[in-house]
Each structure stands twice: as structure tokens, then as C-alpha cells.
Amino acid sequence: MKTTSPRAVAPSRTAPPRHFLDLAEIDAGTLRRMINLAAHYREGAAPEALRHPLAGRTLAMIFEKPSTRTRVSFQVGMQQLGGEVVVLSHQDTQLGRGETIADAARVLSRYVDILMIRTFDPATLHELADHASVPVINGLTDETHPCQVMADIATFEQHLGPIEGKVVTWTGDGNNVAQSWIEAAPKFGFEMRLACPEGLEPNAEIVAAARKAGGSIVLGSDPEALVDGADCVVTDTWLSMHDTDTDRSNLLMPYQVNRRLMSRAKPTALFMHCLPAHRNEEVTDEVMDGPQSVVWDEAENRLHAQKAIMVWCMGKIS
């Protein structure tokens, strides 16, 4: 009797993938479960079934922008979950030589189980997600940085308990991190204040959408007034990667986080910065290294929060 060799069949991926693109697109209960799982990972208390749930799975990371924290935290996180990692810079792929994002998404989906991209244009992220049959994670775009803010919320709750009902003040450029904080406000029930100079305000559509979703978003240009009584003060660099507008330094100097500004917040208030910091520009050394600063815990929580995000994306938690 003649026999035939078995033919390998690609695994079925009929269910739509769980993408992690922006906080506004994910319901509050799901985000809360991720934050709670991140705390379990930080404390070494994750359930047995969630300690190495991604064994045999592979994460591909695509970088159009340089990275330290994003690359290391995702790579170590995936390895701790039992999986493997492939790292691709823009120069390593055909994306830099004319291949479409859609085609790359289709090809990579045949090789790996999850994709993370750190890119400039949010349209690149969304096109990748539209054509991938595996989950896609937003590792940063010029518009938002949701992984960072999930880590920030995990850090807040590590030190001060539930963020619901609290006040967070952003001072400086209303950039991608600020905009993810805005999207988080209605999801976690805190008041988000933003002190930004004219011309560097956050995207008006993101603000309007957050307010429509029930978020308390306060905008203004006076950092002292908006920091008054805050539970947390957050800032970021004045010049992001590839920015050349050096005039921003003069415009943003009144928004520097220094001892005088922090003194207007609550005595228990935290200081956060997503790093890397330009010391003595957007934040002084005495605040960065002071007792209210939690920037190193914040950096560590990128690891724990992103582990929880990947576990959710792969359907291991609801």
C-alpha cells in the first residue's frame, strides 16, 4: 500500500488578533486586568499558569526609531514568559527598500506569533495591524505611547494605591506620552491636567474624545496653577528624537520641574519621567534624584506592564 508523507498545515488563525494599539481602543476592565497582572509579575506572585505562558511563541520587534528601554524590556519580558525574540531595525528589513507595510505584515504573520513596532507615523502602525493575522503592539508612535503610560499607572499604584480619583499633572510639550495619559484618564478615572505652552498643546481630537468618554481633562498654560495639589507630576524631554526646533528650550523653560514647582503639589506627590532625561532642562537634578522621584521604578515597570500586555494579546487572560 502506497503511503504519502504528511503535509504540514499552517496553524489556523480565524479569530481576529488582539491588538494593543491605543488605550482609547481597549475597555477599562481589560486595562485594569493588565495593570493587576503587571503588579503580580513585579511581586513575583503571578499564577503558575501565567509564569511562562508564551513558551514556544516568538515576538518580532520592528524599530524605525532607536530604543533602549523598549527594546530591552520587551526582549527580557518575552524571554521571561518563555518565548523567543527577533529584532529588526528598519535597515534590516525590506520595508526600507520599498516593500509595503501590508505585505510585510502578511509575511511576518507566517513566521511569528506577535509583532511590536516602534515607528514615527501612526498610519504605519495601523496599516501593520490591519494586515497582520497576529497581534500588533504599539511600542511608540509620534502620536501615542500606551505601553509607557501603562507602566506609569502601575508605578503610581505601586506607591500611592488606586489612581482613581487622583490628580496627575503633565507639564511641558503635549507630546505622544501626554496624549496616552489623556486617553488613560477616562479608563482609570483620574483627573488629567496639562500645562503646555501655546503651540505645543496636545491633539485637540484626542482631548475631545477623552472628554466625550467621561474623562476629566484640564488644559492650561500655567504650570504652577495646574500642579497645585497634584498627586503626580509628569514631564518629558523638550526635544524628542529627530526634532530640530531648538527654540523650544526658551519656550519650555517656565515648565521645568524643579523644587519650587514640586512644592506646589501634595507632599506625597510622585515625580515621573519616561526617560531618557535631559537633566537640568525639563527636570532638575534635585527633583530627578529626590525622594519624590520614582523614575527608576517607572522604568522597571515597563518590563512588568509589557509582559501583561503580551499575555493579554495572546489570549492568556480575558
Catalytic residue among 145, 193, 248, 304: 145
Task: Name the percent of the chain lying above pLDDT 90.
Answer: 87
Q: How far apart are CA 184 and CA 317, in angstroms?
A: 20
Q: State residue 115's pLDDT score.
A: 98
Q: Is 92 assigned a catalytic role?
A: no
Pair 230, 265: CB distance under 8 Å: yes
Q: State residue 41's pLDDT score.
A: 98
Q: Is 264 assigned a catalytic role?
A: no
Catalytic residue among 22, 302, 304, 313: 302
Q: State residue 8's pLDDT score.
A: 43
**What mean pLDDT is predicted for residues 284-302?**
98
Residue 306, pLDDT above cutoff 70: yes
In the numeric block, the cell 501655546 is attached to 198
Q: State residue 3's pLDDT score.
A: 46
Residue 148, pLDDT above cutoff 50: yes
Q: State residue 11's pLDDT score.
A: 45
* Beta-ladder partners of 263: none
CA 198 to chain centre: 25
Residue 216, pLDDT above cutoff 50: yes
pLDDT band at 179 (very low <50, low <70, confident <90, very high): very high
Q: State residue 96's pLDDT score.
A: 58
Q: Is 236 assigned a catalytic role?
A: yes
Q: Can you read off the three cell numbers belonging to residue 5?
A: 508523507
Please state the φ and ψ torsions of residue 193, each to the nearest 5 degrees: -110, 140
* Beta-ladder partners of 153: none
CA 143 to chain centre: 11
Catalytic residue among 196, 232, 274, 313: 274
Q: How far is CA 312 from CA 33, 111, 176, 263, in A?
A: 9, 20, 23, 39
Q: Is 302 assigned a catalytic role?
A: yes
Catalytic residue among 118, 131, 248, 273: 118
Residue 22, pLDDT above cutoff 70: yes
Residue 261, pLDDT above cutoff 80: yes
Catalytic residue among 75, 148, 256, 306: 148
Residue 241, pLDDT above cutoff 80: no
**What mean pLDDT is predicted for residues 251-262?**
98
Residue 7, pLDDT above cutoff 60: no
**Per-residue pLDDT tens digits for 92-147:** 777 757 789 999 999 999 999 999 999 999 999 999 999 999 999 999 999 999 99
pLDDT band at 317 (very low <50, low <70, confident <90, very high): very high
Catalytic residue among 42, 173, 236, 313: 236
| Per-residue 3-state assignment (H helix, E strand, C coil) for 8-53 | CCCCCCCCCCCCECCHHHCCHHHHHHHHHHHHHHHHCCCCHHHCCC
Pair 207, 180: CB distance under 8 Å: no
Residue 243, pLDDT above cutoff 90: no
Q: What is the DSSP letter of 228?
A: T
More confident residue, 101 or 90: 101
Residue 184, pLDDT above cutoff 60: yes
Summary mean pLDDT of the chain: 94
Q: State residue 13's pLDDT score.
A: 55
The pTM for the full model equals: 0.94
Q: How far apart are CA 61 and CA 108, in angstroms?
A: 11
**What mean pLDDT is predicted for residues 18-46?**
98
* Beta-ladder partners of 194: 170, 219
Q: Is 22 assigned a catalytic role?
A: no
- Please report, as a single letter, which amino acid is at residue 100: T
Q: Is 51 assigned a catalytic role?
A: no
Residue 2, pLDDT above cutoff 70: no
**What mean pLDDT is predicted for residues 17-28?**
98
Q: How far apart are CA 188 and CA 192, in angstroms?
A: 11
**Per-residue pLDDT tens digits for 58-83:** 999 999 988 999 999 999 999 999 99
